């Protein structure tokens, strides 16, 4: 990036053309505050897009916030203003003083600022981003060859401010978190960390989903160099980093993007299209090429500068549909009388094409809650071009089922099995996210019915089905040890729960399950292929039992999974199996070490030549209560159980 004193002052006509065309995908090198040389004099070049402004000045401590001496020059036939200020140093505060068409003066933070004052202050900060010495070259080289579809992927979703806090209640910095969080993530068998938005935002309780600084790393938790260190350490420990990203809408705070030059600029001119009443925000205007350049460049920026491995794109449904999650007085329609947002759809396709052109193995994950087709299909066949989609249908169904009184489950058995009708229509991620444990929805553990023991048994069973069901995985922080109270967005997780045996044993089970998942290729090698899954018996609603096979690519690489969602124990329970030999129970959530009752199959089980469940052979097992059992063929290498 051109954030060095070796960069030239000039802005080329090609840069301007591409920016106004919507194809300048590194526009962060053009706009914002950059250290440059002009006539052999070092200083900072400020560049801002404000096409309707009567005049723009740069103000800051260096001129006592008086723009008289630092008025910007408008580049002819362009809405871009530019100014070179000599001798400015890193760390200087600044804003743009904009004279609007209605002769008002407003102060705006730089949309392309690389850093900002700590809230509640709102000035932009002149910042270099080229001084950190990266040590993740091995990861970056390996990433270029990564097969993201046929690898294990288990994502730990984290809100930095509340994962853990200091005794004083202060936040950990990015650098301090690197020393604690990464080791914890590795120990618990996760492959990726997903961070809720780390871009600058004014209000803590928005959780980062209402932004003012898309290019500005939030100063709440430290400096850009601190965050680079965090990402670097993740990569050195073989952990990928995914960011939550919000290209759908932005907050209305006075110093932000809203009515930036005194007119609707980043948002649509049409009030109906601009307003997001449910969130109190403005939608982006995807019909403006400059907004497209701004947003696509922003995705590139985080990957180019911070080595980010991918994004979870928030609120895709509200982008592709004009009226989704938007309680306006009147419904709005496109020029064809339909509800699709054609400009947003075109933007999404263009975004994914641009990202995958430069980063073919990037993770572009859509939070899309409708039945929009081909979300994870390439754009050249009519898809939106993402490579993963959150499976919100499965999450809704399984949580609805698990909350049922155990005696009522036989009447809602289809909630367990319906997802397999569409499980391979997209590349899905099964996501138990923060959205499932806030706003009175209760934590995952507290959603479970029954007495204290049954709650934990149900949650172990849920996690077992979660890990063995087709699709990549995501879990919000705290779920791994049974956070009992729903997420408190101002306090750290309840780590004190690990002083209690039930939570410790749950944590042990989840950690064991995660490492078993990583080591078992049959659980992820064909995640997005129908050949990777086969029902043994999906129809046993009376006993609330399902059984199925997960298959890998190699012959003989498979596991038999039995899930019992009832509180009953079943002995001499016959199950169909595909081949002769002996099977061993490699994992059982009812193991005493995990907090269970110990109804386990401890000896190898001989297969009988008795057809059952449409299989050529069968065997008899013990089915534990509210538990998952996993069986694999006994081999010389595989002789025993997975231990907690």
Asked if residue 313 has pLDDT above 70, the reply is yes
pLDDT in tens, 526-540: 999 999 999 999 999
In a domain, 48, yes or no: yes
Looking at the fold, whether 428 and 384 belong to one and the same domain comes out as: yes
In a domain, 26, yes or no: yes
Report pLDDT for 9.
54
In a domain, 1, yes or no: no
User: Percent of the chain at pLDDT above 70?
Assistant: 97
User: Percent of the chain at pLDDT above 90?
Assistant: 94
- Domain hosting residue 623, numbered range: 530-633
**Whose CA is closest to 300, among 360, 226, 363, 351?**
351
For the chain, how many structural domains are there in total? 3
Report pLDDT for 529.
97
b/e map 556-568, b = 16+ CB within 10 Å: ebbbbbbbbbbbe
Looking at the fold, whether 335 and 473 belong to one and the same domain comes out as: yes
Report pLDDT for 6.
35
Taking residues 581-598, report their average pLDDT. Answer: 97
Q: Are strands 249-251 and 199-200 parallel, antiparallel or unpaired?
A: unpaired
Tokens of 131: 């001084």
Confidence of residue 451 (pLDDT cuts 50, 70, 90): very high
Looking at the fold, whether 210 and 113 belong to one and the same domain comes out as: no
Query: Which residues contact residue 66 at a Cβ distance below 8 angstroms, ignoring those fewer than 6 apart?
Result: 59
pLDDT in tens, 256-275: 999 999 999 999 999 999 99
**Rounded Cα gap, residues 322 and 333, in angstroms:** 7
Sign of CA dihedral 523, 525, 529, 531: negative
In a domain, 271, yes or no: no
Looking at the fold, whether 554 and 467 belong to one and the same domain comes out as: no
Asked if residue 644 has pLDDT above 60, the reply is no
Task: Select from 520, 543, 571 the last residue of a domain.
Answer: 520
Q: Are 553 and 540 in contact (CB under 8 A)?
A: no
Instruction: Calculate the average pLDDT of the chain.
Output: 95
Looking at the fold, whether 476 and 376 belong to one and the same domain comes out as: yes
Confidence of residue 5 (pLDDT cuts 50, 70, 90): very low
In a domain, 132, yes or no: no
Asked if residue 3 has pLDDT above 50, the reply is no
* Predicted model pTM: 0.95
Taking residues 314-320, report their average pLDDT. Answer: 96
Active-site position among 367, 397, 436, 590 = 367
Q: Are 353 and 386 in contact (CB under 8 A)?
A: no
Q: What are the C-alpha distances in Å from 456 to residues 81, 86, 431, 474, 499?
A: 60, 64, 20, 19, 16
Report pLDDT for 293.
98
Active site residue 314: yes
- Write the CATH number for 608: 2.60.40.1180
Sign of CA dihedral 479, 481, 485, 489: negative
* Geometric angle at alpha carbon 19, from 318 and 218, rounded to 5°: 60
Active-site position among 200, 232, 290, 314 = 314
Peptide bond into 120 cis (omega under 30): yes
**Rounded Cα gap, residues 49 and 32, in angstroms:** 9
Q: Which residue carries 């595909």 as its tokens?
A: 578
In a domain, 608, yes or no: yes
Looking at the fold, whether 605 and 559 belong to one and the same domain comes out as: yes
**Rounded Cα gap, residues 494 and 496, in angstroms:** 5
């Amino acid at each position: 990036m051109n954030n060095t004193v070796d960069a030239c002052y000039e802005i080329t006509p090609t840069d301007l053309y591409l920016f106004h065309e919507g194809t300048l995908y590194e526009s962060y090198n053009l706009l914002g505050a950059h250290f440059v040389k002009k006539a052999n004099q070092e200083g900072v070049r400020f560049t801002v897009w404000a096409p309707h402004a009567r005049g723009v000045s740069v103000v800051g401590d260096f001129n006592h916030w008086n723009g008289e001496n630092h008025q910007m020059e408008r580049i002819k036939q362009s809405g871009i203003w530019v100014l070179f200020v000599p001798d400015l140093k890193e760390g200087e505060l600044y804003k743009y003083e904009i004279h609007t068409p209605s002769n008002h003066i407003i102060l705006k933070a730089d949309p392309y600022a690389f850093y900002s004052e700590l809230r509640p202050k709102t000035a932009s900060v002149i910042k270099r981003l080229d001084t950190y010495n990266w040590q993740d070259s091995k990861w970056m080289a390996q990433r270029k060859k990564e097969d993201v579809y046929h690898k294990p992927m288990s994502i730990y979703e984290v809100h930095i401010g509340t994962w853990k806090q200091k005794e004083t209640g202060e936040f950990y910095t990015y650098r301090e978190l690197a020393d604690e969080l990464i080791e914890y993530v590795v120990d618990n068998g996760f492959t990726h960390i997903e961070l809720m938005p780390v871009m600058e935002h004014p209000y803590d309780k928005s959780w980062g989903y209402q932004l003012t600084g898309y290019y500005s790393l939030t100063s709440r938790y430290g400096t850009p160099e601190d965050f680079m260190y965090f990402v670097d350490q993740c990569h050195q420990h073989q952990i990928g980093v995914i960011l939550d990203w919000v290209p759908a809408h932005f907050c209305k705070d006075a110093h932000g993007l809203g009515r930036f030059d005194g007119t609707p600029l980043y948002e649509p001119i049409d009030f109906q299209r601009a307003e997001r009443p449910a969130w109190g925000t403005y939608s982006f205007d995807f019909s403006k090429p400059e907004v497209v350049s701004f947003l696509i460049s922003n995705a590139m920026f985080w990957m180019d500068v911070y080595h980010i491995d991918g994004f979870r794109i928030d609120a895709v449904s509200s982008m592709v549909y004009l009226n989704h999650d938007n309680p306006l007085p009147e419904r709005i329609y496109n020029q064809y009388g339909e509800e699709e947002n054609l400009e947003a759809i075109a933007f999404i396709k263009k975004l994914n094409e641009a990202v995958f052109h430069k980063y073919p193995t990037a993770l572009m994950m859509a939070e899309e809650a409708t039945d929009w087709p081909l979300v994870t299909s390439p754009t050249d066949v009519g898809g939106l071009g993402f490579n993963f989609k959150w499976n919100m249908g499965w999450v809704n169904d399984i949580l609805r089922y698990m909350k049922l009184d155990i005696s009522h489950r036989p009447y809602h058995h289809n909630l367990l099995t319906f997802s397999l009708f569409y499980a391979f229509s997209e590349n899905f991620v099964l996501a138990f996210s923060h959205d499932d444990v806030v706003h009175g929805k209760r934590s995952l553990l507290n959603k479970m019915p029954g007495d204290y023991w049954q709650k934990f048994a149900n949650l172990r069973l849920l996690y077992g089905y979660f890990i063995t069901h087709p699709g990549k995985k995501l879990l919000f922080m705290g779920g791994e040890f049974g956070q009992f109270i729903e997420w408190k967005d101002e306090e750290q997780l309840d780590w004190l729960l690990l002083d209690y045996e039930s939570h410790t044993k749950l944590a042990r089970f989840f950690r064991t399950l995660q490492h078993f998942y990583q080591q078992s290729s049959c659980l992820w090698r064909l995640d997005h292929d129908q050949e990777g899954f086969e029902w043994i018996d999906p129809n046993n609603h009376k006993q609330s039992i399902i059984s199925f096979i997960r298959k890998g690519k190699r012959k003989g690489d498979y596991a038999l999974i039995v899930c019992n969602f009832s509180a009953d124990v079943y002995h001499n329970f016959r199950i169909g199996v595909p081949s002769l030999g002996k099977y061993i129970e490699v994992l059982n959530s009812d193991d005493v070490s995990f907090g269970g009752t110990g109804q386990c199959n401890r000896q190898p089980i001989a297969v009988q030549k008795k057809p059952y469940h449409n299989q050529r052979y069968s065997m008899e097992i013990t089915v534990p209560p509210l538990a998952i059992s996993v069986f694999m063929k006994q081999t010389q290498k595989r002789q025993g159980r997975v231990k907690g």
